Amino acid sequence: MVVVKTIKEVRETVKQWRREGLTVGFVPTMGYLHEGHQSLIRAAGENDRVVVSIFVNPMQFGPTEDLATYPRDLEHDKEKCSEAGADLIFAPEVSEMYEDNFQSYVDMNLLTEELCGLTRPCHFRGVCTVVSKLFNIVKPDRAYFGKKDAQQLAVIKRMAADLNMDIEIIGCPIIREDDGLAKSSRNTYLNADERKAALVLSQAVRKAEELITSGVRNSAEIISAMSALIDAEPLAKTDYIKIVSLDTMQQIPEIDNGALVALAVYIGKTRLIDNYFYEGK
């Protein structure tokens, strides 16, 4: 496994692989890797070669968010990548990705209006822009994204289709801790009490799954049962709990054929997300 910091080195390596007729899978990340990221790297192993990018993208953070404190540890990440079978890590500096006179952005309507797009303005503009750039640098056959960031997955699929990117976008299941908490680099912010309190997210998701599986279709009823669980935890403060259409990411009053139940909750100062994909019948 090699670690490179420049766009030129990625391009030269990938070009050589292409000359050899090899396929390339790509996993974009912000680093501080855990088993969730490793599951994507392993899934990307269906290609001949796997590229992982590690880049904490300033453009997708709001001015009051955790860009400065976001955990970074390249040595730890190298081990996790190598364990999971990556061939190349691309870990650029901010200056390598954004020249001083950078002016171009990729943006999206509709799908970015609700959920994290509503409470994190400009977040998806940053995500779409950096992922487009990374796609242009790596030029993979397939790219792998976690269902943990369900809206992001929908946005990237839409972007790839709208902009005729010749890349297959593959969604991978949420990897959880044994007690149900979805794995996240941000879990490292939690102290012992907050770590316990954070279980309300997965409990609320399970509650939604139970209700939907038992035939409940009214969104307000499901959201109210989830809210009751979150509100009972003193360290938790709801950012949003919403049920949206899988196609438009807009809220739906009744679940018809498939829906995304998504929530974002502050545990102390840490904002965590979780969701349940109902694929419909």
> For ligand AMP, which stretch binds (CB under 6 A), given 80-88, 109-117, 170-178, 193-201?
170-178
Q: Cβ 29 to ligand AMP, closest distance in Å?
A: 4
In whole angstroms, what separates CA 118 from the centre of its chain?
Answer: 16
Q: Which of 80, 142, 148, 158 binds ligand AMP (CB under 6 A)?
A: 148
42 contacts ligand AMP (rule: CB under 6 A): no
CA dihedral 200, 204, 209, 211 (to 10 degrees): 140
How far is residue 262's CA from residue 166's CA, in Å, rounded to a whole number? 29
Q: Which is nearer to ligand AMP, 159 or 175 (CB)?
A: 175
In the set 34, 37, 76, 123, the catalytic residue is: 37
149 contacts ligand AMP (rule: CB under 6 A): yes
Q: State the distance between the two ends of the chain, measured CA to CA, in whole angstroms.
A: 43
Look up residue 48 and give its amino acid.
D
Q: 43-71 burial string, b = 16+ CB within 10 Å, else e?
A: bbbebebbbbbbbbbebbbeeeeeeeebe
Within 3-32, which residues bind ligand AMP (CB under 6 A)?
29-30
183 contacts ligand AMP (rule: CB under 6 A): yes
- The contact set with ligand AMP (CB under 6 A) reads 29-30, 36-37, 39-40, 145-146, 148-149, 172, 174-175, 182-185
Active site residues: 37
